[in-house]
Structure 1
Amino acid sequence: MISWHKTRFLIVGACLASCLTAVPLNTHVAAASPEFERALHNPKIGDKIGNVYATDIRAYVNGHLIPSLNIDGYTAVVAEDLRSYGFDVAWTPDQRRVTILPRQDKPTEPIPAASPSEQPIGAKLGNVLYTDIETYYEDQAIPSYNIGGRTAIRLNDLDKLGDLKWEPQKKEISFQAVWKGQGEMKEAPTPLVIYQRQEIKVPAIQVQGVSVVSEGKQVGQVLDGSLRISLAFMAQALGYKPSKANAWGCGQETICFDNGSYGIMVDPRPLKQGGSSPLNASLFWMGGEEGKHELQVTAVDTPLDVLVEEWNLKELFGYSSTWEPETRTLNIVYVDYAVDDFGFPKSLNNYYYTYRATGYLDGSKSLLPSFTVKVNPGALGYGGSMGLIGETGAHRYKGVGGLSEYRYDYEKLYNLGSYEQEIQVSAGMRILFKQNLSYELTMKDVSPVIDYPDPFSGGEISRITFDKPTGGYTRTSGQAVSFHGKALKKASNELKVIVEHQGYGGGFEKVDHFDVPIDGDAFSFEVKPQADPRYLTRVTVQSLISFPRGTRMGDVARFYIEKATEEP
């Protein structure tokens, strides 16, 4: 089983003449260290092949300053940061592949570049390790390396793929992408793109009395009326390979298979020879255990194999099966799904967020991948949905045609606080993608207007903006705070305002509420904050929400007011 590799990547740039004192000042691209060059001849994963150094070089990508560091004389930038500089960056876990795609129409949102390292220039900060990650700029393979669990490539390897410039007097390196079109995807991708590659059909499985046979070989038995099939046969027929001993807990007496990202481990030792009982299969994703699944299992005399209830195998591997009673034949179809991770946001600045994925799939298959989002502590969920977009069979992705486009949405409404999200894509119990995200919403950073999607699954709701105040947090020494805004869309001709005061212990208690008319498209009101500067005042603006079965009120904006001590 391949170990998990976190999706934070580095691009290593052209060698900078003044990175290290040993680098000649008149060179554009200097040689790497001898250690670096020697290690490249016959490297192994994890071998040290270079060093990370502190640098004062300033790096620019597509005209914008980007955080950088130095690796053996080459400037480095984080590859996922390129998502803010006019690139899509995809991580495909099961292929261990990073793909960087320049996109001309993608807005740039430059990241504030960190100040130069406090370490002396040239001070060693870490090691460069060899990695088996494959990195591509469009369809061009680029050498890659590992820096503290992050993938790195050298920017000078992009020299022929764009415009690379080094200005030694300014200590600046810049890379300008060349736009060649957007490929198969006509619009910016969602954070996840789920797609299918090949379809695997298991050789027909026939029931002959109590024997279960495929291509003349016995692969199972009928026991007490239930169809049980060899775990080893099914895994290998679906393209899984035996995992090496000591990989994620596998030993000499455990049954372990994986497909490069998803793995299964069963320990048959609790079974007596020929006995049957439930056993737990441990499920793995990128080397980490992600839960267990109970199987109905029968022991066999073949080393490292067991017979498993067919419906358990169907759950475990996520395939489709049909039974032909006339010929007593079981037909199994397994679709090889994959996921490209284009990146969820690192932070949220709104109370409402829609987790979204796109699927390029053959809708005729009975088993399509599912997309789930779990939040701890729980955020109010408006549910998940999956829908067909446009014409069936009209799409192509990564060389596979005849696919339909599906849109997965999972809507969550947050409050202030810290949240842990678990994102998962799966087919049955087969994990296709899994990621944990951490978000924190603070009153000083979050937008006051709740950005519900349009259309909103909860119903028709007023869409409003505020001219004053523009932020969700106000600190004032005045007697009242004025609110002015406009309705972009009205579900009714008024809004409701709820005023709450914070008390000892941090909780809020309702102290006032009133209706605010919308005059044309404008509205305004005032709120007096509580006098005690130790406690906040919370102002919630609500709108009528109408849906087929009735109406209700829902929050559309939240504000927090802190009373400042008046100056003498």
Structure 2
Amino acid sequence: MLFRKKTYFTCFFILFILSQNCFGQGIKVGTVINKVISTDIKAYINGYEIPSMNINGCTAIVVEDLRNYGFDIIWSPVDRSLVIKENSSKKIKPISIKKNNNSKIGQKIGNVLYTDIKTYIKDSEIQSFNIDGYTVIFMDELKEFGDIRWNEEKREVRFNSNKIDDLGSGVDDNCCFEIKCIEEIDMRLKQKDGKYYFEGKEVGFIDNTNSGFKIMISGKALAEKFGYNISVDKGCYIFKKGNYSFKFKNNNTTIEKFFDGYLYESYDIPKRTVVLNNDIYIYDADLEGLFGVVKYNSEGGIYLKYKEFDVKDYEDYEIQGNRFLIDHSYNGYDVNMRIKNKTHTFKGDYCRIPKGTYLEYGDNELEITVNHNDRILMLKRLTVRPDLKTNQIIYDEAIGLNMKTPQNGYIETNKSEILIDGEIIHAYGDNLLVEIEKLDTKNDQFKKTTSKNIKLKDKKFNEYIQLNKGYGIYKIKAFTDVRSENCRFEVLELFVNYSE
């Protein structure tokens, strides 16, 4: 942005007119309302360059990029809002900026789209836009956190934090999802003569047909109590609350679960629903998977407990070598996080990372969900790549690995062999199996080259590993029994870049 008084007010006036037109005419989300222009102006956050663009002569930045520059960007899918908070304890990870020599200054490089996402700084809503699926704001909005200065000669705009307010994020480091239970709803159903009643109204019955004893509960009663909207499409019932929904299909014998309209899961429930009097009755055993409801048997009936959660997405994850690490702040047993790598399947008999997953070389498409029982609270999809240079040796107390050399999980060498020297305190027996793989750059996969059995002496090993397939990147893994026979663990993983 040209941070001169006249330019700032010109930008503000244009934005005001745009916002008035958008709301006044009921403009649709995704409608083109402006254009993005290439610029030679460089933008800096606390001394680190950040990608920027030009909109109406003003410098704009992507909100999500601020996560790499000492800010928490908190996404709330329920009210479709982004909150920007400064976090001075966060690690700075500047984005690598590639120069595009083919782009001329002032040339159109994209469209600015209208968005219904609301963006906040210090409880105040600021103007934001959608560009290529990302939320964009004018850099001048960061003045709430510090000083913004424009250098005409260098054509630079710099933000420097005063670090007075909003220190810290309020959640643990590397915590991606902040989860809070905000409401608990109890529904007690009394049983009499094979029927179930809630607050004096009949809401269920016992179904002895279809080869079984099933407690069937009114979908309308459940939706009303737990705050879901119901619609019917060609005889199929759809339940929706916020971003989460589920749909009965195929004569109400198949369930489809959605989050933000994205189909997450589909499975069959044959002969487990009954439609009566424009209402669908659901088998009580399916309630946990659909609503996240927990059922308790009580004297004279059943007791249903439903919880409502607020989930904030900080998108704070870490890549260590070929490991994707992620965490959440909720310690209750009824909320869990699931990670599915849709591109690759890790093949192994042991996973050392309870709050993460393994990545294979190349692009990995991850699908991450936060679930209350089996109800989806948050779903996000990421495409990530491993960063082998950040690989770390894992020192698990249950294994008792100590390494003399190497001490780093990633090594660069011009020698065709590497020494591994250490001990495994809890090793059982005297055999250490070492497997060597080499990266095939044509298909982005590691392929096994050889394996080697090393004798442990007093639980110690000292052996040279040969890199005998020429220059390239090698993966070295070691396995042994720990504490007892037939309890094999992966105890070591290294990446070696063998080059001239």
* Residue 82 of structure 1, CA deviation: 1.5
Q: Say if 2:8 is the partner of 1:66.
A: no
Unaligned runs of 5+ in 1: 1-14, 18-24, 244-249, 271-277, 386-408
Q: Say if 2:82 is the partner of 1:98.
A: yes
Instruction: Map 1:370-389 onto structure 2 (within 5 A).
Output: 370-375=336-341, 376-380=344-348, 382=350
Aligned length: 480
* Residue 89 of structure 1, CA deviation: 1.9
* CA deviation map 1:495-529 (0-9, x unaligned): 969585879998544376656999x9xx9865665
Tell me, what secondary structure is at the counterpart of 1:356?
coil
The answer for the alignment partner of 2:186 in structure 1 is 201
* CA deviation map 1:318-377 (0-9, x unaligned): 01232322xx2333221112332222548x45144444322155x6xxxx1122223332
Out of 205-214 and 53-62, give the one that drifted further. Answer: 205-214
Distance verdict in 2 for CA 1:529–1:45, change over 3 Å: same
Q: Say if 2:255 is the partner of 1:255.
A: no
- Per the normalisation by structure 2, the TM-score is 0.80
Tell me, what secondary structure is at the counterpart of 2:84?
strand
Distance verdict in 2 for CA 1:488–1:117, change over 3 Å: farther
Match for 1:38 among 17, 24, 35?
Answer: 17
The answer for the alignment partner of 1:330 in structure 2 is 302
- Per the normalisation by structure 1, the TM-score is 0.72
Separation in 1 of the partners of 2:485 and 2:283?
45
Distance verdict in 2 for CA 1:176–1:324, change over 3 Å: same
Q: Which amino acid aligns with 1:38?
A: I
Separation in 2 of the partners of 1:127 and 1:351?
36
Whether the 8 Å contact between 1:54 and 1:117 is mirrored in structure 2 is: no
Distance verdict in 2 for CA 1:78–1:181, change over 3 Å: closer
Give identity over the alignment, percent: 23
Separation in 1 of the partners of 2:60 and 2:101?
14
* Residue 135 of structure 1, CA deviation: 1.7
Tell me, what secondary structure is at the counterpart of 1:159?
helix
* CA deviation map 1:414-446 (0-9, x unaligned): 5656544332221233111223333444xxx51
Instruction: Map 1:112-511 onto structure 2 (within 5 A).
Output: 112-115=96-99, 118-177=102-161, 178-182=163-167, 185=170, 187-202=172-187, 204-224=188-208, 225-242=213-230, 251=233, 253-267=235-249, 270=251, 279-295=253-269, 296-302=272-278, 305-325=279-299, 328-343=300-315, 345=317, 348-359=319-330, 361=332, 368-375=334-341, 376-380=344-348, 382=350, 409-413=354-358, 416=361, 419-441=364-386, 446-447=388-389, 450-452=392-394, 454-455=395-396, 459-463=399-403, 466=406, 471-472=410-411, 474=413, 476=414, 480-481=415-416, 483=418, 498=434, 507-510=447-450
The answer for the alignment partner of 1:27 in structure 2 is 6
Whether the 8 Å contact between 1:495 and 1:544 is mirrored in structure 2 is: yes
Tell me, what secondary structure is at the counterpart of 1:115?
coil
Tell me, what secondary structure is at the counterpart of 1:459?
coil
Separation in 2 of the partners of 1:297 and 1:499?
52
Q: Say if 2:58 is the partner of 1:84.
A: no
The answer for the alignment partner of 2:2 in structure 1 is 16
Distance verdict in 2 for CA 1:201–1:314, change over 3 Å: same
Separation in 2 of the partners of 1:464 and 1:193?
39
Distance verdict in 2 for CA 1:482–1:524, change over 3 Å: farther
Whether the 8 Å contact between 1:297 and 1:307 is mirrored in structure 2 is: yes
Separation in 2 of the partners of 1:450 and 1:353?
12
Tell me, what secondary structure is at the counterpart of 1:113?
coil
Whether the 8 Å contact between 1:62 and 1:175 is mirrored in structure 2 is: yes
Tell me, what secondary structure is at the counterpart of 2:59?
strand
Out of 549-558 and 169-178, give the one that drifted further. Answer: 549-558
* Residue 191 of structure 1, CA deviation: 2.2
Unaligned runs of 5+ in 2: none
Q: Which amino acid aligns with 1:298?
A: V
Q: Which amino acid aligns with 2:388?
A: V
